[in-house]
């Protein structure tokens, strides 16, 4: 889709990321706020995101294995179990409620921000909260890859100088992993079992065995 920025007149094509919907594989997701605007630096927006995440995980029966909210982007490790084809709808259910609330809040309280978010799609003028496109989306297949991904997610605030230790950052699953309670978002315990493994994840091994039986 060709999109026009009404402020600059520049046009660009919205990228569509190819996703690999393999059952039994956790997915490492990253998506950003539009033009890297720091919407997620505001506590109400973080809470709106948490509420949308809890609703989406319940609706689609997805597990949440790790996450971190940064001021202008987020990382999320999701286990879609046997229904990876629902990922696009899960993301829609996650992003859209947050976007609606952010835009409504800005219209009422900070309208000067709206031109920064404006894009024209054909004859329609929209205000974006999320960067268009699928963002980063990677399948995780091994326990080593899972550990590396979770460490990367948790280290983000430390790398940026926002926290001295990963568990000091309130909006991160690092606190859950070190046993701090209560936390903003509870993780699903299955991730602990998979982290303790060597080699392929249990969920991936099951899919491999099913494939061998069928062959």
Share of the chain above pLDDT 90, in %: 74
Domain spanning 2-214: CATH superfamily: Transposase IS200-like (3.30.70.1290)
pLDDT tens-digit readout, 61-109? 999 999 999 999 999 999 999 899 999 999 999 999 999 999 999 999 9
6, 118 Cβ separation under 8 angstroms:
yes
Give the residue from 35, 74, 81, 85 showing the smallest Cα distance to 52: 74
pLDDT value at position 14?
A: 43
DSSP 56: H
Query: Domain extents for the chain?
Result: 2-214
**φ, ψ (nearest 5 deg) of residue 9:** 80, 0
66, 153 Cβ separation under 8 angstroms:
yes
Q: Per-residue confidence of the chain (215 residues) as pLDDT tens digits?
A: 444 454 555 554 444 444 567 778 999 999 999 999 999 999 999 999 999 999 999 999 999 999 999 999 999 999 999 899 999 999 999 999 999 999 999 999 999 999 999 998 888 999 999 999 878 999 999 999 999 999 999 999 999 999 999 999 999 999 999 999 999 999 999 999 999 987 888 666 454 443 333 33
Cis ω on the peptide bond leading into residue 182 (within 30° of 0)?
Answer: yes
**φ, ψ (nearest 5 deg) of residue 43:** -60, -40
């Amino acid at each position: 889709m060709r999109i026009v920025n009404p402020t600059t007149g520049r046009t660009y094509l919205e990228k569509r990321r190819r996703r690999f919907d393999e059952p039994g594989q956790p997915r490492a997701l990253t998506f950003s706020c539009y033009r890297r605007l720091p919407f997620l630096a505001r506590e109400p927006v973080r809470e709106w995101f948490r509420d949308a995440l809890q609703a989406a995980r319940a609706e689609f029966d997805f597990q949440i294995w790790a996450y971190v909210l940064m001021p202008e982007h987020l990382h999320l490790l999701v286990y879609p179990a046997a229904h990876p084809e629902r990922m696009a709808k899960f993301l829609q259910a996650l992003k859209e409620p947050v976007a609606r609330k952010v835009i409504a809040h800005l219209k009422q309280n900070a309208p000067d921000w709206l031109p920064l978010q404006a894009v024209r799609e054909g004859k329609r003028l929209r205000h974006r909260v999320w960067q268009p496109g699928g963002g980063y989306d990677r399948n995780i297949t091994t326990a080593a890859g899972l550990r590396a991904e979770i460490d990367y997610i948790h280290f983000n605030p430390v790398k940026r100088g926002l926290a001295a230790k990963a568990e000091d950052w309130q909006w991160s699953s690092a606190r859950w992993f070190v046993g701090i309670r209560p936390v903003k978002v509870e993780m699903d315990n299955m991730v602990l079992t998979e982290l303790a493994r060597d080699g392929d994840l249990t969920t991936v091994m099951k899919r491999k065995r099913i494939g061998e039986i069928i062959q």
